[in-house]
């Protein structure tokens, strides 16, 4: 029971920006109980079937436990029963927002094992598509993160741009989400007539509209109030948890395999890696947004470099990777994607292991949510940028 | 000792619905007016919200139901009535059923005192402003009750947030309303409109002004506080669909859910109507402009039927203008955090509105 005679002044230690002292009447023994709140697997903020169990004291989060696996589809095992061309249709499904970038990893792995020289044009086309896919992915997260903070409009704006880009990619690949355009040895088919012109036009339009996002979302006072200083991630924690992509770049570490270990023709062009400073939610969003501009710069360079020539190399009907193993890492929109491919010389892989960026990135959630407020927990959840299919595979 | 009847109880200006000598006919007409307002105007506001949001967000809004999609909300209402009424097993059943009604009825009762034009109101209470503010704050009881009775953690947090929000924002809202009452010298809503039509700043006699011009700070405080009290974005933390699923409405389905929705839309209309009456000159077209077909004080009272129609349209247009502003804010801003919201209220709005009240009171006494 509470004794109302004694008084005590306390400063809430964890609350962001708190400088107001509260006076607690009594001995402070007002009986409170922690409440366990299960967010998900079906919840608007988890975009998919991700579940997170929060221990709440009022609105303050005392502990957070992510529960994953609701969307496990067994892609690694399924890949052991598909030949090397068919795997592309599996891999563009684990992170459904970056289908093309996923296929790319498999194609590069098989080609490296075959020691196959891929035609130049195919490599430049792959880069072009990968960067457009990166922009598609980031636009989606810009919309959905703003939605998690309660702003409904950016989602519709992002989808306006996404629609143009999806039309563009559809004209070459025939797919809007699952492209299945990569094959060992190149890409499925050459670009249609007028593709580069249309691509340049969309690049220009998207660049013009990019400023709108900076003004309307990044420059919004309430957006800044909800994100600045929320969920800061120190560099050492980020590195020890294996976090990559925009979430890592926000802490100021410029590890991007397009720069540090270039694949395709990324070595021939300038790749800018936008960096943050504090690693908080605002920086993560800032990096994500500015990666769109960086990708548009890359796309413009690719337009200038695009050579003529074949887009595929002659391969037997059944591609068989030689006996051995390889690990290929590529910079996916959400972070580092690694494929470990082990072959016994047969027509299917003997073992196919995925290292997906979302899986590593969600490891930061318990650390980031400790001591946050419930609305901040949602802000943090959205700002580590994950796709549930990419966590569970 | 006077006998209180429906037409004399605290009432000042007569309503145009006080026809004949009987008691029954005026009451029936007034009930029809209030119910008509309650069921039609919020739907118009909701339609405006759908269309404006659509246009601002690169889409078209409703197009199928009725001409230009104008019957969308009616169609939604019919759909809600047909839905299964689910009550969670763990819920406190009587309270769970009572909550939407407790939220809805006050929203309906406010329409009693809202004047749409000269004589176009059910009753002009002497304490009209007090009545309107007192009645609107009852709605939150229903919300708290719904949040508690749902036996759902999301609902509970949503309900408690709504309660905290009401306590924080009722204060600046009422203080600002008192400031206006001090300026007008009356609590009657009709009286406030009349006072505005005659209001001039000292030194500028002959130049009519609405209260919004000297009271621009008060208007801003009232607007923000009204949005917070209605839980409209960017202050929709009690609903907070990305955090709390749907806050206190999470477990509600069918007609009960529709009642909560109607409460929100009706609240938008009543708050806008109050702002029109308190700050924007009620049914006056422009400051200092007499309404065609009217005579009497400042040319806005004692009107013929055409003048009354014009006045009602002017009031409705002003209400829809304010609804438009609320929708604009919803489209443009993300949601605040609960502690940020409380900080804005206690550290900014409450001191500001108190200073405003003191300033206006001193000026009124001195001049």
Residuewise pLDDT in 10s, chain A (393 residues): 445 555 555 544 444 444 545 555 555 566 666 778 888 788 877 777 888 888 887 778 888 888 888 888 888 889 888 888 888 888 888 888 888 888 888 889 888 888 888 888 898 999 999 999 999 999 999 888 888 888 888 888 888 889 999 999 999 888 888 888 888 888 888 888 888 899 999 999 998 888 888 888 888 888 888 888 888 888 888 888 888 888 899 888 888 888 888 888 888 888 888 888 888 888 999 999 899 999 999 999 998 888 888 888 888 788 888 888 899 989 888 888 888 989 888 888 888 888 889 888 888 888 888 888 888 888 888 888 888 888 888
The pTM of this model reads 0.82
Taking the Cβ of residue A153 and every Cβ of chain B, the question of whether any pair is shorter than 8 Å is answered with yes
Q: Which of A344, A307, A310 is nearest to A325 (CA)?
A: A344
Q: Where are the domains of chain A?
A: 65-392
Q: Got the DSSP string for A128-160? A: HHHHHHHHHHHHHHHHHHHHHTT--HHHHHHHH
What the block records as the tokens of B311 is 């006045």
CA torsion, ordered A287, A293, A294, A298, to nearest 10 deg: 160
Of A45, A150, A225, the CB nearest to B233: A150
pLDDT score at A72: 87
Q: Do A156 and B59 touch (CB under 8 A)?
A: yes
The contacts of residue A317 (CB under 8 Å, 6+ apart) are none
Low-confidence ranges of chain B (pLDDT < 70): 1-12, 20, 296-299
User: Cβ contacts (< 8 Å) between B333 and chain A: which residues?
Assistant: 150-151, 220, 222
Judging contacts by C-beta atoms under 8 Å, the chain A residues touching residue B237 are 375
CATH architecture of A65-392: Orthogonal Bundle (1.10)
Burial of A250 (0-12, 13-18, 19+ CB in 10 A): buried
Note whether A375 contacts B157, CB cutoff 8 Å.
no
- DSSP class per residue in A81-118: TS-TTTHHHHHTTTSTTSHHHHHHHHHHHHHHHHT---
**Chain A residues 83-102 within an 8 A CB cutoff of chain B:** none
Cα-based torsion angle of the residue sequence A40, A43, A44, A47 in order, rounded to the nearest 10 degrees: 40
A residues 213-232 near B, CB within 8 Å? 216, 220, 222-223, 225-226
Q: DSSP assignment, residue B337? A: P
Tokens (6 digits) for A117: 């020289």
Please indicate whether, in this complex, the C-beta atoms of A152 and B57 are within 8 angstroms of each other.
yes
Q: Which stretches of chain B sit within 8 Å of chain A by CB?
A: 53, 56-59, 153-154, 157, 233-234, 236-237, 240-243, 245, 330-340
Predicted pLDDT of residue B324: 92
The pLDDT value recorded for residue B85 is 85
CA distance A145 to A106: 30
DSSP A362-385: GGGHHHHHTT-BHHHHHHHHHHT-
């Amino acid at each position: 029971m509470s004794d109302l005679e004694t008084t005590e002044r306390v400063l809430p230690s964890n609350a962001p920006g708190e400088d107001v002292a509260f006076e607690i009447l009594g001995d402070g023994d007002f009986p409170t109980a922690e409440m366990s709140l299960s967010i998900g697997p079906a919840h608007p903020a988890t975009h998919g079937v991700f579940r997170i169990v929060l221990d709440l004291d009022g609105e303050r989060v005392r502990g957070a436990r992510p529960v994953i696996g609701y969307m496990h589809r067994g892609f690694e095992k399924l890949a052991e029963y598909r030949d090397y061309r068919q795997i592309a249709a599996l891999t563009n499904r684990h992170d459904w927002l970056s289908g093309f970038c996923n296929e790319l990893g498999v194609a590069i792995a098989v080609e490296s094992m075959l020691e196959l020289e891929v035609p130049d044009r195919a490599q430049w086309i792959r880069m072009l598509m990968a960067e457009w896919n990166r922009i598609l992915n980031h636009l989606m997260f810009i919309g959905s993160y703003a939605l998690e903070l309660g702003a409904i409009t950016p989602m519709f704006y992002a989808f306006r741009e996404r629609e143009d880009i999806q039309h563009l990619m559809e004209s070459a690949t025939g797919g809007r989400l699952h492209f299945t355009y990569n094959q060992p040895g190149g890409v499925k088919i050459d670009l249609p007539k007028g593709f580069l012109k249309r691509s340049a036009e969309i690049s220009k339009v998207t660049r013009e509209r990019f400023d709108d996002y900076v003004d309307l979302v990044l420059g919004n006072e309430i957006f800044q109030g909800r994100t600045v200083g929320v969920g800061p991630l120190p560099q050492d924690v980020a590195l020890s948890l294996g976090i990559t992509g925009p979430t890592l770049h926000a802490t100021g570490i410029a590890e991007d395999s397009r720069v540090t270990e270039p694949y395709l023709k990324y070595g021939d062009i300038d790749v800018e890696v936008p960096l943050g400073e504090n690693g908080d939610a605002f920086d993560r969003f800032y990096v994500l947004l500015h990666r769109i501009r960086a990708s548009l710069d890359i796309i413009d360079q690719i337009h200038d470099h695009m050579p003529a020539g074949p887009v595929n190399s002659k391969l037997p009907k059944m591609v068989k990777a030689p006996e051995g193993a390889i690990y290929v890492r590529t910079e996916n929109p959400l972070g580092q994607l690694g494929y470990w491919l082990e072959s016994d010389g047969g027509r299917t892989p003997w073992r196919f292991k995925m290292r997906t960026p979302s899986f590593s990135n969600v490891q930061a959630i318990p650390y980031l949510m400790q001591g946050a407020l419930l609305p901040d927990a949602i802000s943090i959840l959205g700002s580590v940028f994950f796709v549930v299919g990419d966590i569970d595979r | 000792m006077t006998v209180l009847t429906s037409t004399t109880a605290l009432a000042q200006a007569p309503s145009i619905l006080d026809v004949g000598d009987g008691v029954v006919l005026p009451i029936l007409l007034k009930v029809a007016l209030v119910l008509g307002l309650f069921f039609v105007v919020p739907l118009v506001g909701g339609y405006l919200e759908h269309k404006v949001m659509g246009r601002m967000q690169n889409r078209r809004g409703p197009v199928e139901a009725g001409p230009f999609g104008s019957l969308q909300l009616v169609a939604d209402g019919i759909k809600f009535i047909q839905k299964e009424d689910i009550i969670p097993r763990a819920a406190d059943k009587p309270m769970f059923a009572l909550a939407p009604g407790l939220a809805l009825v006050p929203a309906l009762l406010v329409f009693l005192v809202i004047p749409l034009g000269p004589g176009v109101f059910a009753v002009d209470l002497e304490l009209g402003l007090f009545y309107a503010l007192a009645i609107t704050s009852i709605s939150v009881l229903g919300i708290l009750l719904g949040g508690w009775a749902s036996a759902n953690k999301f609902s509970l947090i949503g309900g408690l947030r709504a309660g905290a929000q009401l306590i924080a924002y009722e204060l600046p809202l009422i203080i600002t309303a008192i400031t206006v009452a001090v300026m007008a010298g009356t609590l009657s809503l009709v009286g406030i409109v009349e006072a505005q039509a005659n209001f001039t700043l000292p030194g500028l006699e002959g130049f009519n002004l609405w209260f919004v011009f000297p009271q621009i700070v008060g208007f801003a405080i009232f607007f923000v506080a009204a949005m917070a009290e209605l839980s409209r974005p960017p202050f929709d933390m009690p609903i907070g669909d990305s955090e709390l699923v749907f806050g206190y409405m999470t477990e509600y389905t069918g007609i009960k859910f529709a009642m909560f929705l109607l409460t929100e839309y009706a609240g938008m209309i009543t708050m806008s109507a109050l702002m029109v009456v308190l700050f924007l000159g009620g049914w006056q077209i422009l400051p200092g402009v007499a309404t065609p077909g009217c005579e009497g004080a400042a040319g806005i009272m004692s009107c013929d039927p055409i003048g009354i129609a014009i006045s009602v349209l002017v009031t409705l247009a002003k209400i829809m203008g304010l609804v438009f502003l609320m929708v604009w804010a919803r489209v443009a801003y993300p949601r605040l955090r609960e502690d940020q919201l409380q900080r804005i209220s206690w550290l900014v709005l409450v001191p500001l509105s108190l200073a405003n009240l003191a300033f206006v009171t001193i000026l009124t006494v001195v001049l």
